[in-house]
Structure 1
Amino acid sequence: MNRETFGAIDIGSNAIRLLIDYVEQYEDQRTEYKKAAFVRVPVRLGDDVFLRGHIGNDRAEALCDAMQGFAALLRAYGVRDYRACATSAMREAANSRDILERVRLRSGITVETISGEEEAETIFAAGGLKERLDPTKSYLYVDVGGGSTEIVVYALGRKQAAESFRLGTVRILSGATDPAEWKRFEEWLVRMAEAYRPTVIIGSGGNINKVHKLLEKRSREAIRAKELTALYERLRSLNVVQRMEQFYLNQSRAEVIVPALGIFTDVTRLCRIGTIDVPRQGLADGIIRQLYRQYNLPYR
């Protein structure tokens, strides 16, 4: 067996995350990804960016502190390589270059700001989902983040269309969404539903992953749209403290889960889809798989 260690950092709008995986390759060509460490720090960059257009000093300091800690963990685990990526909030922050240079000087980590399309492609590839698609079916891949929602249409075994919408959980909570963007979102979904007739949603993001757990689903067991809607109605009837107490959610998750489920229920309604598959893979998982393939390590 060969074992290598890789790391990934995901700087999102609602939180920043570090994932370190052991990647084990066996003589029979099997490859297994085993989680060595996962750290999530609730630095909500989107609260600054979506209201003020830039990242304030307090959150910049929190980001730098967290990244210094991540750098220490990457060294301690002896990772062969890592990649750090920032998404929606950093894409839109007017001072993103200054912030990322500050992060580099404090932590030694160089961060790449990636497009919404690259973000979606990386997550989708994380679990080898492309290889598992039925070429006779159409799918909607939906990733709901803090600042944006990425949607990709897969049909006939390949990507047919993709779009990024400035509709994310933190942006919604901040009251920073544009009614015109909601209209664009709805009209685009209706067009895609008419053109490709998708029958399955592939859901991505921390909130749909949490819903999968709350509904006590087994690995690869799908969520029915009716179950999703019922949970959404239940959660939205509660305040944040009640969600924390009744569903054992941390405060950050209790705040963002309702707007996330609102987006997912909109997709199921507009496209008349009754099934949501949840592979429970994220951007960090996809980054690690990319790194491993990049090295193309032979068995020895």
Structure 2
Amino acid sequence: MKRYSSKAGEKAGVIDLGTNTFHLMITPLGRNLDESRTVRHRSHVRIGEYSNDFIGEGPMERAVSVMKEFAELLKEEKVRKVKAVGTAMLRNATNTREFIDRVLLETGIKIEVISGNKEAELIFKGVKLSDCLSGETDLLMDIGGGSVEFIWVEGGKMSQLWSFDIGVSFLKNLFHKSEPMANEERKLLENHLLTIMHPMLNIISNRPAHRLIGISGTFDLIHEHFNPTTPKGSAKINPEEIIKFSEQIIGLSAGERLKHPSIPESRADLIPSALVLLNLILRKCSISEVIVSPYSIKEGVFTTLV
């Protein structure tokens, strides 16, 4: 893993403001991203609740409150170098400026809203810090609440990237109305995904990828289900096993998902849409194995601070 030099004792704070979850990572500059030296916090804020293009009053208040908590943690840790990035929901919401201004006024934290392509680049930088890249052909996939990023990697180098507004909160709001998900809803969802992702699928569907590297969220759930005692980044999963598991979950009702031991309550309503998307990718692309990265956009942002 790559080392970065910096002043002894200096710390960096990275905040990822996602559509579903806000993450805070505090880590010493000049150190490897060792979990023993890194403090991580997250809060399921759900700023994309109810709408794909407007932050409602409830989500707005939750989000500002969490940012205040993060500011206190940064103060306690004496972090002076902070980078906060906003992604899909903040790219799309008509009242993003109101939120950004409130956070700056009430916490002193400045938020940068980044493009989908920039988000994909930072995800790649984060994954590159891990040992997940095969050195052959890899497809990186980050299923977020508002957008999904794909990065095509050849020989450890980024070749192409895509960012689509097909995050699970958006998909849930648009298509998943029945419990369990109705067959017609699934067909409409799959057709929508195929249309949106056509530019990418047209390029990669006939190019085998040795490895699909999953990042965050849905993939964390999958890793915990198949490899609960193995660290992320070191366990390979058979794509066919993921498809089989996914089909079982998609067929469950909301109540049944809440009782399932592999599904956190915070993801129970969104997981069917996420798994429909994942199964579509696994079936359309020639994937030999799946691995879940321990690193994501936060670690990618970290590399820009040193």
**TM-score, normalised by the number of residues in structure 2:** 0.83
Residue 193 (str. 1) matches residue 214 (str. 2)? no
Q: How many pairs align? A: 284
Summarize the alignment of residues 217-232 of structure 1 with structure 2, pairs less than 5 Å apart. Answer: 218-219=230-231, 220-232=234-246
CA drift at 1:211: 1.0
Q: Which residue of 2 is the match for residue 160 of structure 1?
A: 159
Q: Distance in 1 between matches of 2:165 and 2:110?
A: 26
**What SS class does the counterpart of residue 166 from structure 2 fall into?**
coil
Q: Which residue of 2 is the match for residue 206 of structure 1?
A: 217
Q: Distance in 2 between matches of 1:17 and 1:130?
A: 19
CA 1:232/1:180 → structure 2, altered by over 3 Å: closer, same or farther? closer
| Cα-Cα RMSD | 2.5
Q: Which residue of 1 is the match for residue 284 of structure 2?
A: 270
Contact preservation (8 Å) 1:22, 1:34: no
**TM-score, normalised by the number of residues in structure 1:** 0.85
CA drift at 1:126: 1.5
Q: Distance in 1 between matches of 2:95 and 2:33?
A: 41
Q: Distance in 1 between matches of 2:65 and 2:130?
A: 37
Amino acid at match of 1:155: E
Query: Identity over aligned residues, as a percent?
Result: 27
Amino acid at match of 2:205: A
Deviations 1:89-131 (A, max 9, x none): 0000111112211111111111010111111221221143588
Larger CA deviation: 98-107 vs 279-288: 279-288
Q: Which residue of 2 is the match for residue 54 of structure 1?
A: 54
Amino acid at match of 1:44: R
Contact preservation (8 Å) 1:208, 1:261: no
Q: Which residue of 2 is the match for residue 113 of structure 1?
A: 113
CA drift at 1:150: 0.8
Give structure 2 stretches of 5+ with no counterpart: 1-6, 176-188
Amino acid at match of 1:108: G
Selected match of 1:39 from 38, 41, 45? 41
Residue 184 (str. 1) matches residue 193 (str. 2)? no
**What SS class does the counterpart of residue 43 from structure 1 fall into?**
coil
CA drift at 1:289: 3.5
Q: Distance in 2 between matches of 1:280 and 1:13?
A: 20
- Structure 1: which 4+ aligned runs deviate by more than 6 Å? none
Q: Which residue of 1 is the match for residue 25 of structure 2?
A: 19
CA 1:157/1:70 → structure 2, altered by over 3 Å: closer, same or farther? closer
CA 1:65/1:284 → structure 2, altered by over 3 Å: closer, same or farther? same
CA 1:133/1:245 → structure 2, altered by over 3 Å: closer, same or farther? closer
**What SS class does the counterpart of residue 244 from structure 2 fall into?**
helix
Q: Which residue of 2 is the match for residue 125 of structure 1?
A: 125
Q: Which residue of 2 is the match for residue 285 of structure 1?
A: 299
Q: Distance in 2 between matches of 1:290 and 1:199?
A: 29
Q: Which residue of 2 is the match for residue 83 of structure 1?
A: 83
CA drift at 1:185: 0.8
Q: Distance in 1 between matches of 2:123 and 2:161?
A: 14
Deviations 1:227-256 (A, max 9, x none): 111211121222233223221543221222
Contact preservation (8 Å) 2:142, 2:148: yes
CA 1:31/1:147 → structure 2, altered by over 3 Å: closer, same or farther? closer
Q: Distance in 2 between matches of 1:118 and 1:164?
A: 9
CA drift at 1:146: 0.5
CA drift at 1:10: 1.0
CA drift at 1:149: 0.9
Contact preservation (8 Å) 1:204, 1:279: yes
Larger CA deviation: 215-224 vs 240-249: 240-249
Larger CA deviation: 177-186 vs 12-21: 177-186
**What SS class does the counterpart of residue 281 from structure 1 fall into?**
coil
**What SS class does the counterpart of residue 94 from structure 1 fall into?**
coil
Q: Distance in 1 between matches of 2:18 and 2:303?
A: 19
Amino acid at match of 2:170: R
